Amino acid sequence: MPLARDWTGKIYGTNNGGVYLSIEDRSDQSVVGHLNINDEQCGVSIYKVSGTFNGSEVHLSGEPVKLPEGIEAGSMHAKGILTAQGGVDGTWSTVFGSAGTFWLVPHGHSTQPDGSPDQLFTARKDWGPIEITRDDIVAVAELIQKDFNNPVVVTVTGETEVSCYLERFKGLELAEQRARIVKIRGADPERDGINRVVQVEFGPQMNFAFAQSTNEAWARGKKEMLAQHLKKFERNYATYIKRLGLGTNQLLHSATLVVLPALPDWSQRAFLVVIVMSIALALAAFDRHIMRFASIWIADKPNLAFGRSFISWVVNVFGMIVAALAAAAIGGWLP
């Protein structure tokens, strides 16, 4: 996926100011264009730039074609990486020793004549535990791309974080089998500097998607579309049954409250509480660390004889049986 044609941003370092990058040729991985720099002290300079973009990194070199009177400048070089928000962050330098950092964001022009929007609408959908493969990630990103002109950005976080456009992600070689976090984001200028955004994020703490726009119907519609498409990736583990709002841990605690009054001695009650709490914590740890709240397979997913939800249920039912036997033994109700 090529770079957007128009970019705006800032440079910092030995020189500071605003920048405008116009990409005029985007054939294959090469880019050619003009860079306008409005230096806070020296004024406006224009560079003819060319370079490469491989889907996640951009390299540009440039020569000055127009400079303020009395100002000398030499060739420059800039290197940046694509961010999860669709912008570019990086560093720049010149042959004269000037250097610093920069950021760029894709720029669009609103065609709507009215003023700034009165409201910004956000529609959000949350999921429980999910399991998703690389092919699924590509399918979700392609679904989002249908609604945006700017390329969708995919960010994968494992031991390191990589952000790249969708087309680059399809052929990206990653050494890790699983990722901790994946983000899929699409954004287009909507009006007066405000972007309409769709983002899907899966991770160890939460799995969600949101759509944001000045158009409430658009935001709601995209949220419902994602809700229907991503529902198939959700998994019900025994310690987290979303439809019921509870899991085996709640059942264990409820059963303990029923049994406790039947035990005559306080030490027996305390012993039972310790056993049940230990079992409940062990079951929760099993689902959290073994099953994971988000199982994100970047490499080939291993074939298991049984599904992960089935394994979760077997282990949790076994834990509940152990808790029941422990209660019966403490109460002296075993034959």
Pair (30, 95) in one structural domain: yes
Pair (125, 226) in one structural domain: yes
Question: What is the extent of the structural domain holding 275?
Answer: 248-331
pLDDT at position 117 over 60 = no
How many whole angstroms separate alpha carbon 88 and alpha carbon 57? 9
Whether 131 is in a domain gets the answer yes
pLDDT score, position 141 = 95
**Percentage of the chain modeled with pLDDT above 70:** 87
Mean pLDDT of the 44-68 span: 90
Whether 239 is in a domain gets the answer no
pLDDT score, position 85 = 75
pLDDT score, position 113 = 42
Q: Tell me which of 75, 106, 137 is where a domain ends.
A: 106
Whether 142 is in a domain gets the answer yes
Pair (66, 163) in one structural domain: no
Mean pLDDT of the 190-200 span: 80
Mean pLDDT of the 56-83 span: 88
pLDDT at position 50 over 60 = yes
Three-state secondary structure of the chain:
CCCCCEEEEEEEECCCEEEEEEEEECCCCEEEEEEEEEECCCEEEEEEEEEEECCCEEEEEEEEEECCCCCCCCCEEEEEEECCCCCEEEEEEECCCCEEEEEEEECCCCCCCCCCCCCCEEEEEEECCEEEEHHHHHHHHHHHHCCCCCCCEEEEECCCEEEEEHHHHHCCCCCCCEECEEEEEEEEEEECCEEEEEEEEECCCCEEEEEEECCHHHHHHHHHHHHHHHHHHECCECCEECCCCECHHHHHHHHHHHHHHHCCCHHHHHHHHHHHHHHHHHHHHHHHHHHCCEEEECCCCCCCCCCHHHHHHHHHHHHHHHHHHHHHHHHCCCC
Count of the separate structural domains present in the chain: 3
The angle formed by the CA atoms of residues 87, 91 and 96, to the nearest 5 degrees, is: 145
Pair (202, 102) in one structural domain: no
For the whole prediction, is pTM greater than 0.85?
A: no
Amino acid at 272: L
Which CATH number do you get for residue 10?
Answer: 2.40.128.120
Mean pLDDT of the 73-100 span: 88
The torsion angles phi and psi of 107, rounded to 5 degrees, stand at: -120, 140
Pair (203, 294) in one structural domain: no
How many whole angstroms separate alpha carbon 24 and alpha carbon 5? 7
Whether 33 is in a domain gets the answer yes
Pair (31, 91) in one structural domain: yes
Could you report the per-residue pLDDT of 126-150, keeping only the tens digit for each? Answer: 988 888 999 999 999 999 999 898 8
Q: Tell me which of 57, 82, 106 is where a domain ends.
A: 106
Whether 100 is in a domain gets the answer yes
Pair (127, 216) in one structural domain: yes
Contact 139, 133 (CB under 8 A): no
Whether 115 is in a domain gets the answer no
How many whole angstroms separate alpha carbon 37 and alpha carbon 50? 16
Could you report the per-residue pLDDT of 28-38, keeping only the tens digit for each? Answer: 778 899 999 99
Could you report the per-residue pLDDT of 151-175, keeping only the tens digit for each? Answer: 899 999 988 888 999 988 998 888 7
Pair (68, 42) in one structural domain: yes
Q: The tokens of 199 are what?
A: 């983002």
Q: Tell me which of 198, 233, 268 is where a domain ends.
A: 233
How many whole angstroms separate alpha carbon 131 and alpha carbon 291? 9
Whether 111 is in a domain gets the answer no
More confident residue, 330 or 312: 330
pLDDT score, position 110 = 40
Pair (225, 175) in one structural domain: yes
**Percentage of the chain modeled with pLDDT above 90:** 28
How many whole angstroms separate alpha carbon 119 and alpha carbon 122? 10
Pair (174, 277) in one structural domain: no
pLDDT score, position 185 = 94
Pair (125, 100) in one structural domain: no
Mean pLDDT of the 189-193 span: 68
